[in-house]
Amino acid sequence: MKYFTLSQTLGEKGLIGYRIGPGNYSRLFDESSLQAGDVAVRFNGTDLTTASGMNLILQRLSATSAINLTVQRGNQFHDIYISL
């Protein structure tokens, strides 16, 4: 993805989400309230704690003009809206 890097994050019970970082166009990342190390757990309403969640996102991403992310930062969850 040109806006973000995503890498699977596993816990004791399996997939807990995707660690998010800046992509090639890091300006969008820097201007959002995202922080390096945030773990994305929901993307536009799709659960990212299942293997099928990322497949759905990749199929729909090209038609997306805005992203609603729920990220886990430490022990807290934050909802973040990003307009592309």
- Give the pLDDT confidence of 21-40 residue by residue, as tens digits: 998 888 888 889 999 899 99
Cβ burial, residue 45 (10 Å; 0-12/13-18/19+): exposed
Domain map (residue ranges) of the chain? 4-83
What's the predicted TM-score (pTM) here? Answer: 0.84
What is the tens place of the pLDDT at every residue in 39-71? 999 999 999 998 788 777 777 777 778 889 999
Lowest mean pLDDT segment, chosen from 6-10, 13-17, 22-26, 62-66: 62-66
CATH class of 4-83: mainly beta
